[in-house]
Amino acid sequence: MTRFVPLFLIASCALVAQPPKPIHSQASSSIDFTPSANGDVVEIRNVTYDITGTNVPGRPPNDRLLLRKITRTKEVLGDIGVDANLTLETWRLGDDVRNKPLYTLTVSGDDGNVRDNAIFVVSRGLEEVEWWSVYKLGSGEHLFDTYVPLTSFSISRETVTTRYVGLDVPPDNEPDSRLKQPNVIGVLTYASESKIIREVLLTCDDRQQAKLLRSYSDVTRTLTVSEGAAQSLTLTFRQNYPSPPKPVELQIPLKGDDLDLANAHLPAKLQAAAWRR
């Protein structure tokens, strides 16, 4: 008996079997310096290319991504701060870069880097306040913002199961009215490379202390994860010089793949509650 193979199946197999085509792309970086009596101006445009490994979350297992990162900065020498934005264009490695990217991410910031072949972290602090935005590498979707350096760790000793933690401290122009309440300190975020697992709203019954702990200039925040079988997060606030440090510290243990708020150790007047944007 003769077997007939559908033409669409033959065509799809042929497409899969085709080797990737050679590609070539080049882009120039530039610098412009403009002397001025009101302050010398420097404008820089840098272009870099990179490729990912395979197994990028959200992409087919064998896909590698080609990344083109464009940073543009404009600075008046001697002034505080800089105008900067970053554009990330992403293609599947082997696709023609003249075609539309899989996605394009454009955001204010002066640098961005791939972490763990899974996320893209952009440095957003263009003035005196450092903060970062975290995006999914496979899709460019925004995950969360953090005003402490992004903390990553594995919740498993047997396999690498990476989780990320950050603290979002709402600015004065925060659009979410819930985060404008005077008792709010910030939102602690616990996430995988593909989703937010838990958000925790931190508040303080003492509004003056809440204002202090929320301040960008008066306190320094650190976030660490303990090693060992019983893992926990430690968030510490220390007042900046010339004030005495007077550290305020809270600890939240991990239970399975979540934050154990029921057994959190909190200073007096501080509250931690599950929350969702």
Of 109, 138, 140, 102, whose CA–CA distance to 123 is shortest? Answer: 109
Per-residue pLDDT of 254-268, as tens digits, reads: 999 999 999 999 999
Per-residue pLDDT of 37-90, as tens digits, reads: 888 999 999 999 999 999 999 999 999 999 999 999 999 998 887 899 999 999
Per-residue pLDDT of 125-154, as tens digits, reads: 877 889 999 999 999 999 999 999 999 999
Of 102, 16, 39, whose CA–CA distance to 65 is shortest? Answer: 102
**By the 8 A CB rule, do 209 and 229 touch?**
no
Tell me the Cα Rg of the chain.
23
Amino acid at 62: N
* DSSP per residue, the chain: ------HHHHHHHHHHHSPPPP-------EEEEE--TT--EEEEEEEEEEE--S--TTS-TT--EEEEEEEEEEEETTSS--EEEEEEEEEETTS-TTSPPSEEEEEE-SEEEEETTTEEEEE---SS---EEEEETTT--EEEEESS--EEEES-SSS--EEEEEEE---TT-S-GGGGSTTEEEEEEEE-SSSEEEEEEEEESSHHHHHHHH-SSSEEEEEEE--SSS-EEEEEEEEPTTS----EEEEEEB-SSSB-GGG-B--TTEEEEEE--
Contacts of 152 (CB under 8 A, 6+ apart): 115, 116, 162, 163, 164, 165
Token pair, residue 50, equals 């990179």
Cα distance between residue 238 and residue 256, in whole Å: 30
Question: Percentage of the chain surpassing pLDDT 90?
Answer: 79
| β-bridge partners, 45 | 30, 72
Per-residue pLDDT of 97-109, as tens digits, reads: 999 999 999 999 9
Per-residue pLDDT of 174-209, as tens digits, reads: 999 999 999 999 999 999 999 999 999 999 999 999
Contacts of 24 (CB under 8 A, 6+ apart): none
